[in-house]
């Protein structure tokens, strides 16, 4: 299974924010849309990534003034990305090794979506469930096929 297949099932909803917006703006979008990350866009291109991890760090460092902090000051600049042709096993390994919960998927210079570790886990679970059903059907039907040959 490839990353593009996960994105096809997940849908193409992208949640973005500008780097000059505040963390309070970002938290409003993240909670309103029930997402854990926002892609930071400026001039039509991705310039960063903001996840709940960066928000929590800013809250801890900024104290009561955290809400007014600019996203540009806390976002991850030039985040690592995956390609749509990447295999899920490689993606899972990469996300674990890099300690990433959210990963933008780029096709050249075009942002295709954001994959979360939850998306990866769900895709793997569904793939294994499908394989289990197919194996059980094969085993269940196997003796019947052998009996018909006689």
Residue 67, Cβ density class (10 Å: 0-12 exposed, 13-18 middle, ≥19 buried): middle
pLDDT tens readout for residues 77-130:
999 999 999 998 899 899 999 999 999 999 988 899 999 988 888 887 777 666
**Residue 84 to residue 79: CA distance in whole angstroms:** 16
Contact assessment for residue 82 and residue 105, using Cβ atoms and an 8 Å cutoff:
yes
**Residue 38: which of 26, 25, 47 has the closest Cα?**
26
Distances, alpha carbon 27 to alpha carbons 11, 16, 19, 37, 71, in Å: 22, 12, 14, 10, 11
Contacts of 16 (CB under 8 A, 6+ apart): 38, 39, 40, 41
Question: Is pLDDT above 60 for 146?
Answer: no
Q: Give the pLDDT score at 8.
A: 83
The secondary structure of 40-101 as a DSSP string is EEETTEEEEEEEHHHHHHHHHHHGGGGGGSBGGGTSEES---B-TT-BHHHHHHHHHHTT-S
Q: In 10 A of CB 129, how many CB atoms?
A: 10
At 31-70, the pLDDT tens digits run 999 999 999 999 989 999 999 999 999 999 988 899 999 9
For residue 143, the model assigns a pLDDT of 66
Full set of structural domains in the chain with CATH: 3-149 (3.10.580.10)
Q: Which two tokens stand for residue 97?
A: 């090794």
Q: What pTM does this model have?
A: 0.78
User: Per-residue pLDDT for 137 more than 80?
Assistant: no
- pLDDT above 60 for 147: no
What is the crossing angle of helices 88-97 and 3-10, to 10°?
90
pLDDT of res. 75: 96
Return the structure tokens found at 66: 């955290």
């Amino acid at each position: 299974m490839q990353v593009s297949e996960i994105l096809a099932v997940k849908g193409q909803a992208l949640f973005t924010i500008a780097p000059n917006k505040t963390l309070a703006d970002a938290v409003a979008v993240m909670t309103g849309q029930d997402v854990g990350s926002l892609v930071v866009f400026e001039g039509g291109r991705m310039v960063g990534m903001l996840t709940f991890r960066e928000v929590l760090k800013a809250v801890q460092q900024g104290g009561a003034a955290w809400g007014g902090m600019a996203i540009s000051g806390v976002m991850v600049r030039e985040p690592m990305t995956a390609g749509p042709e990447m295999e899920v096993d490689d993606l899972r390994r990469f996300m674990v090794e890099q300690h990433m919960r959210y990963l933008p998927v780029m096709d050249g210079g075009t942002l295709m979506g954001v994959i979360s570790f939850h998306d990866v886990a769900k895709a793997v679970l569904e793939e294994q469930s499908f394989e289990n059903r197919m194996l059980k059907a094969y085993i269940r039907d196997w003796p019947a096929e052998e009996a018909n040959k006689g």
